[in-house]
């Protein structure tokens, strides 16, 4: 696919902005997927290409957070493994079944997440006693959210964040780092399925990957510098925007 310079610049900027937002609080797909659809790509190809470019930005964010000591690999290993398996299963299931029911349910679920964080100003400010063991948490939520991410996807980062805050008791910065690890796992699983189905457009992905690296570097750097309050604000904005977008697309 031969692209004009203007399209390449747009893709680069979309990757940069998406990587920046995604490395802080998730939701970068709100920016990158519409940019890919704007090119006229079929939805499956847009989603597959998006998985490739977002995986690169997420990998960089994971590296930055690991380098800063924010990732407990013992704590996250089961969740990462379960997410990989079930996200792949969800992506495969998507080729067989419709996700029409989820399109109606997810905006309401995300709105509950927004209200929970908005009405609980102290949540995530410091680590509290967990309600589940790390491996049990990883097994249950890795399966549930991993399958959801592969099958449908919008709001996955928000669901992980609220599960980590409420069930593992992590503070916001460590919850963000944990979320990046499991997001990378599910992205790679879905990417394998999309690649197998021939739904990845490499030249387009490469243009966005260049922007992703810059955006992820900037975003993760801000989290390390400013901590949980920045994550909280961006999280609320991105999740609220996702609710509005899903409601608009489905109902209007």
Q: What is the pLDDT of residues 81-113, one digit of tens each?
A: 999 999 989 888 876 666 666 667 667 777 777
pLDDT of residue 232: 77
Segment of 13-27, 55-69, 104-118 carrying the highest mean pLDDT: 55-69
Q: Are 15 and 205 in contact (CB under 8 A)?
A: no
pLDDT at residue 230 tops 60: yes
Q: What is the pLDDT of residue 1?
A: 61
What is the mean predicted confidence (pLDDT) over 122-134? 72
pLDDT tens per residue, range 25-49: 777 877 888 888 888 888 778 888 9
Res 121: pLDDT: 63
Selected residue with higher pLDDT from 244 and 174: 174
What is the pLDDT confidence band of residue 120, given thresholds at 50, 70 and 90?
Answer: low
pLDDT at 32: 86
Share the mean pLDDT of the chain: 84
Q: Is residue 31 a contact partner of residue 245, using CB atoms and an 8 Å limit? A: no
DSSP 40: T
Residue 207 has pLDDT above 80, yes or no: yes
Confidence band of 77 (pLDDT split at 50, 70, 90):
very high
**37: number of CA atoms within 13 Å, CB side?**
9
Residue 179 confidence (pLDDT) above 90: yes
Q: Domain coordinates of the chain in residue numbers?
A: 5-251
Residue 196 has pLDDT above 80, yes or no: yes
Q: In whole angstroms, what is the distance from residue 145 CA to residue 153 CA?
A: 9
Please tell me the distance from the alpha carbon of residue 252 to that of residue 245, in angstroms, as a whole number: 10
What six digits make up the tokens of 149? Answer: 């991410």
Q: What is the pLDDT of residue 123?
A: 54
């Amino acid at each position: 696919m031969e692209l004009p310079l203007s399209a390449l610049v747009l893709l680069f900027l979309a990757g940069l902005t998406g990587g920046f937002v995604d490395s802080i609080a998730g939701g970068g797909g709100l920016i990158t997927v519409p940019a890919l659809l704007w090119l006229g790509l079929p939805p499956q190809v847009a989603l597959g290409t998006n998985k490739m470019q977002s995986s690169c930005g997420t990998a960089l964010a994971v590296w930055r957070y690991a380098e800063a000591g924010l990732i407990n690999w013992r704590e996250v290993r089961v969740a990462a493994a379960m997410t990989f398996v079930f996200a792949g299963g969800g992506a495969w299931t998507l080729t067989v079944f419709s996700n029409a029911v989820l399109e109606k349910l997810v905006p309401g679920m995300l709105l509950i997440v927004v209200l929970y964080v908005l009405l609980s100003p102290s949540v995530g400010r410091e680590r509290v006693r967990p309600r589940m063991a790390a491996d049990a948490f990883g097994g249950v939520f890795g399966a549930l959210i991993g399958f959801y991410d592969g099958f449908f996807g919008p709001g996955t980062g928000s669901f992980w964040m609220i599960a980590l805050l409420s069930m593992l008791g992590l503070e916001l910065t460590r919850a963000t780092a944990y979320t990046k690890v499991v997001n990378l796992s599910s992205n790679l699983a879905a990417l394998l399925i999309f690649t197998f189905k021939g739904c990845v457009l490499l030249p387009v992905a490469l243009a966005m990957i260049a922007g992703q690296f810059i955006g992820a570097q900037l975003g993760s750097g801000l989290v390390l510098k400013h901590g949980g309050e920045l994550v909280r604000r961006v999280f609320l904005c991105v999740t609220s925007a996702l609710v509005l977008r899903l409601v608009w697309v489905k109902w209007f």
